Amino acid sequence: MPPEVATATEPSGPAIADAPVAIEVRDLKKSFRIPTQRVDSLKERVVHPLAQREYRELRALDGVSFEIHQGEFFGIVGRNGSGKSTLLKLLASIYRADSGTIRMAGRLAPFIELGVGFNPELTARENIVLNGVMMGLSPREVRRRIEAIIEFAELEEFADLKLKNYSSGMLVRLAFSVMMEADADVLLIDEVLAVGDAAFQQKCSDAFREMKAQGKTIILVTHEMATVEAYCHRAMLISEGQIQSIGDPAEVGRDYLRLNFEGDGEETAEEVLHEQSADVRIVDIALQDEAGADISTIEYGKEIRLHLELEALRDLPGLDVGFLVSNADRIDVLNFGIPVGERERAREISANQRVTVEARVANHLAAGRYFVHCGINRAFGGGIALYAQDALDFLVFGGPETKGVVVPELEIEASIGEGSS
Amino acid sequence: MSAEADTRPSLPLRDVRGPSALGGGTRRFFDLLWLMSVTEFKRVYFGTVLGYLWSLIRPLALFGVLLFVFAHVLKVGSNLHNYPVILLLGIVQFTFFQEATSNAISSVVAQEGIVRKTQFPRLVIPLSTVLTAFFNFCLNLVVVFVFILAWGVTPAWTWLLYPFALLALFTLTTALSMAFSVLFVRFRDVAIIWVVGAQVLFYSTPILYPLGEKGIAKNEPQLEELLMLNPLGVIFEQIRVWILQEPRKLAPTAVEAAGGWLHLIPALVIFLSVCAYGVWVFNREAPKIAEQL
């Protein structure tokens, strides 16, 4: 495993900004013409020669310009229908742009979806060759790497099995391994990080870090901010076909959250993300030890006491208070919450009333750094009242060595049977 | 980390022009074409023991039925010694044409995943179906030529011209396949229309009814001329002349059947227009396929 693990979340700094440009996108535009009445056959064409002259124009991308430098790990986020998939397909030469230019240095391995082009009737070996050539390798190069690919995918015993007999996990591992070995200069990856079991995921993330270390340019398209924050040097948020923000992944992540919460309630997301909104205000949020004193480090096995005090700023029908604990890799580990107020009666919580929430959680978290986010929803599906990201952070120490994120209380036994000798 | 990034040679920026028929480099194009055709061929014909036999049985069964009906019931070719050979060769050649074009129609739509989700030279898809059918055809030809030799036909130097006739057949097949494969994306009735179209072509090509003195059109030179408007007819008739070396009266060359060189011009124009249309329409549609699927 490369030693970059600790620096994985570090921003790029000036070194990458100085690197030569790997991808240059200038004023890219793409719109789709959606016929109001679709003509699917020649017969209709002949019978109604004047039909299908009306179109609805859907602007998927509206003048997008950006640059990605060589060796950069670049994240693209956006909601469904924001235009990020269109951008990806333009970069991958699947669609043709209406106007604007894309220029790219080196060879691209497009991975819009894992396992594209796999033929279920062929064996893994045959599929690797086919897929590798699709990725731009020559058949000879693929055959040279075939053992490495099979080994990385941990499929040695199944290499001559037809793919139709593979499980979905095996397919994903195979596809991922081919991509890893394709040795492209630019990789285009769409939502493929969450594949396979935990061990294979670890392998993938190691491989990503290695590629990062080798100076490969990687574009990751996802809706999962945690991944972007964990891997990317820079990120870009697309909304309605335009670049909303570009730069530091953490900042882009906040913009993305803001965008996601917009429209759920009448107030702007800006307010929601702070410790105060039009509905409620966080008076106090803290971790406490058993004596009630505020702390920021907790020993494994002890109790985590989470204390939250809210003030209602107007009459509220009730609230749902939720906590989310995520680790340093931004993986959500714990999620719990409680409804406040009886939902049948309106105006359960009146203005200026205070609400206190106390949570006690047995600390089975593995040693490391954790973040607490606090989300407060209005009852009756009234949307988000407040979302405080990174409201708290704390360290866990002690506990057994583990590769997992939690070490639950467990009973595990082993015994050696009586042998004949 | 960044130090390593700096040591990588800076690659030149190149324009990304979007999808096209050949996009992604010629070497990759031919690698993919070859791999896809060969793997598909292997899968269909060597996946099972009967795989190849089936593909042979189909034209042979058709041959048997037609031979019985035409030679023994309708007495069309009963007075023509070479009738079974002409029939078999014609059927196997036409089977290639029909199999390739009809498989190509749905090929692009069937490979939707590849087209919509990865950068892929579009032309590879219909071309590989044509090639797969062609491999199969070549295997069938071995059987046909064994039959021809067993029938007592002696090889002649004109056999060397056969590949050129096949090249013409292959080109026409490819052009039609290209056009159909992209038209089918927009117009789904292309498949149904072509079922009828291929039938019409089969009967308007001299396969069942040989031309010449003992053929069906012996008293109607206009009919022979008409048949020579069909490029397939020209190709098939010329192949018969080259392979079987029958007396001239029995087997007129394409030129003789058409009634002179000038009368072959319409067939040539049709041939060239079909080829040009296939290339043109494929090139026009190729960049847009992914959006229309």
Rounded CA-CA distance B124/B31 in Å is: 10
Looking at chain B, which residue has its C-alpha nearest residue A71? B5
Residue given tokens 């595990």 in the structure block: A412
Residue A314 has pLDDT above 90, yes or no: no
Residue ranges of domains in chain A, CATH in brackets: 3-260 (3.40.50.300), 268-397 (2.70.50.60)
User: A13-39: string of b/e by CB count within 10 Å (b at 16+)?
Assistant: eeebeebbbbbbbeebbbbeeeeeeeb
Enumerate the residues of chain B whose CB falls inside 8 A of the CB of residue A10.
none
Using an 8 Å CB-CB cutoff, list chain B residues near A91.
16
Enumerate residues 74 to 113 of chain B having a beta carbon within 8 A of any beta carbon in chain A: 113
* Whether A45 and B39 lie within 8 Å, measured CB to CB: no
Best B14, B22, B31 member to test A by mutation, with max A CBs in 10 Å, is B31
DSSP string, A204-243: HHHHHHHHHHTT-EEEEEES-HHHHHHH-SEEEEEETTEE
Comparing alpha-carbon positions, the chain B residue that sits nearest to A40 is B187
Residue pLDDT, tens place only, B19-49: 877 776 788 889 889 988 988 888 777 666 6
pLDDT band at B6 (very low <50, low <70, confident <90, very high): very low
Cβ contacts of B187 on chain A, cutoff 8 Å: 40-42, 45
In the predicted structure, residue A168 carries a pLDDT above the cut 80: no
Residue B108 in this model has a pLDDT that exceeds 70: yes
- The confidence score (pLDDT) of residue B265 equals 92
State residue A261's pLDDT score: 58
Of B16, B28, B113, the CB nearest to A117: B113
Question: Mean pLDDT, to the nearest integer, of B247-265?
Answer: 83
Rounded CA-CA distance A37/A31 in Å is 18
- Interchain CB contact of B248 with A (< 8 Å): no
In whole numbers, what is the pLDDT of chain B averaged over residues? 85
Our CA-based measurement puts residue B6 at a distance from the nearest CA of chain A, in whole angstroms, of: 7
CB contact under 8 A, B16 and A94: no
CB-nearest partner of B5 from A97, A110, A215: A215
When CB atoms are compared, the residue of B5, B13, B25 closest to A21 is B13
pLDDT digits (tens, 9 = 90+) for B110-153: 888 888 887 788 899 999 999 999 998 998 898 899 999 998 88
| Token pair listed for A3 | 């030693």
The answer to whether residues B244 and B251 touch, using CB atoms and an 8 Å cutoff, is yes
- Hey, CA dihedral for A387, A393, A399, A404, is it positive or negative? positive
Highest mean pLDDT out of A286-295, B207-216, B222-231? B222-231
ipTM of the prediction: 0.76
Contacts of B291 in chain A (CB under 8 A): 32, 95
B9 touches chain A (CB under 8 A): no
Min mean pLDDT across A1-10, B126-135, B156-165 is at A1-10
A113, pLDDT greater than 90? no
Task: For chains A and B, count residue pairs whose Cβ atoms are closer than 8 Å.
Answer: 140
CA distance B273 to B271: 6
| Sign of the alpha-carbon torsion through B243, B249, B254, B256 | positive
Q: What is the pLDDT of residue B233?
A: 92
Minimum CA–CA partner of A136 in chain B: B28
Q: What angle do CA A330, A332, A336 make, to 5 degrees?
A: 145
**Cβ neighbours of A20 in B, within 8 Å:** 10-11
Q: What is the pLDDT of residue B214?
A: 67
Q: Would an 8 Å CB–CB cutoff place B179 in contact with chain A?
A: no
> What pTM did the predictor assign?
0.71
Mutation site for A-interface testing, chosen from B11, B29, B283 by largest number of A Cβ within 10 Å = B11
Q: Which amino acid is at A17?
A: A
pLDDT digits (tens, 9 = 90+) for B66-99: 888 877 777 776 678 888 888 889 999 999 999 9
Comparing CA positions, the residue from B122, B132, B118 lying closest to residue B45 is: B132
Say what the pLDDT of residue A236 is.
92
Mutation pick from A31, A95, A126 vs chain B, by most beta carbons of B within 10 Å, is: A95
* A126–B16 C-beta distance less than 8 A: no
Q: Taking CB atoms and an 8 Å limit, are A95 and B28 in contact across chains?
A: no
Answer whether residue B189 shows pLDDT above 70: yes
Residue A249 banded pLDDT, cuts 50, 70, 90: confident
Q: Which of residues 115-144 of B touch A (CB under 8 A)?
A: 115-120
Task: Report chain A residues whose CB lies below 8 A from the CB of B24.
Answer: 93, 136
- Identify the pLDDT of residue B161: 93
Tell me the torsion sign for CA atoms B158, B164, B168, B169: positive
Candidates B4, B24, B119; nearest CB to A215: B4
